[in-house]
Amino acid sequence: MKPFIPHDLPIKNMDWQKFQRILGPANRAIARYDGLLQSIPNPAVLLSPLTTQEAVLSSKIEGTQATLEEVLKFEADPNRETEHYQDIREIINYRKAMAFAVAELEERPMSLNLLKRMHSILLDNVRGENKSRGAFRNIQNWIGKPGAAIEEARYVPPSPLKLMENLDAYEKYLHAEDDDALVQVAIIHAQFEIIHPFLDGNGRIGRILVPLYLHSKNILHQPMFYISAYLEKHRDEYYDHLKAISDDGNWEEWIQFFLKAIDTQARANTEKARSILNLYEQMKQKVVESTHSQYALQSLDGIFTAPIFSSSEFKRFTGIPKASSARILSTLRDEGIISILEEASGRKPAVYIFRELIDIVNQ
Domain locations in the chain? 16-266, 273-361
pLDDT for 298-327, tens place per residue? 999 999 999 999 999 999 989 999 999 999
Q: 3-state SS of the chain? A: CCCCCCCCCCCCCCCHHHCHHHHHHHHHHHHHHHHHHHHCCCHHHHCHHHHHHHHHHHHHHCCCCCCHHHHHHHHHCCCCCCCCHHHHHHHHHHHHHHHHHHHHHCCCCCCHHHHHHHHHHHCCCCCCCCCCCCCCCCCCCCECCCCCCHHHCCECCCCCCCHHHHHHHHHHHHCCCCCCHHHHHHHHHHHHHHHCCCCCCHHHHHHHHHHHHHHHCCCCCCCCCCCHHHHHHCHHHHHHHHHHHHHHCCHHHHHHHHHHHHHHHHHHHHHHHHHHHHHHHHHHHHHHHHHCCCCHHHHHHHHHHCCEEEHHHHHHHHCCCHHHHHHHHHHHHHCCCCEEEECCECCECCEEECHHHHHHHCC
Determine the pLDDT at residue 297.
95
pLDDT at 80 over 90: no
10: preceding bond cis by omega (within 30 degrees)? yes
Average pLDDT over residues 26-48: 95
Determine the pLDDT at residue 208.
97
Determine the pLDDT at residue 130.
95
pLDDT at 81 over 90: no
Question: What is the CATH class of 16-266?
Answer: mainly alpha
The count of other CB atoms within 10 Å of the CB of residue 213 is: 21
pLDDT for 155-201, tens place per residue? 999 999 999 999 999 999 999 999 999 999 999 999 999 999 999 99
Determine the pLDDT at residue 358.
97
Given phi > 0 = left and psi -120 to 50 = alpha, else beta, which region is 90? alpha
Determine the pLDDT at residue 82.
86
pLDDT for 196-253, tens place per residue? 999 999 999 999 999 999 999 999 999 999 999 999 999 999 999 999 999 999 999 9
Question: 273-361 has which CATH code?
Answer: 1.10.10.10
**Cα–Cα distances in Å, from 185 out to 16, 166, 238, 330, 350?**
15, 17, 15, 47, 44
Determine the pLDDT at residue 1.
82
User: How many percent of the chain have pLDDT more than 90?
Assistant: 93
Average pLDDT over residues 256-282: 97
Torsion angle, alpha carbons of 321, 324, 326, 332, to 10? -130
Closest CA to 136 of 174, 101, 164, 114: 164
Average pLDDT along the chain: 96
pLDDT for 217-229, tens place per residue? 999 999 999 999 9
Instruction: Give me the count of residues in the chain.
Output: 363
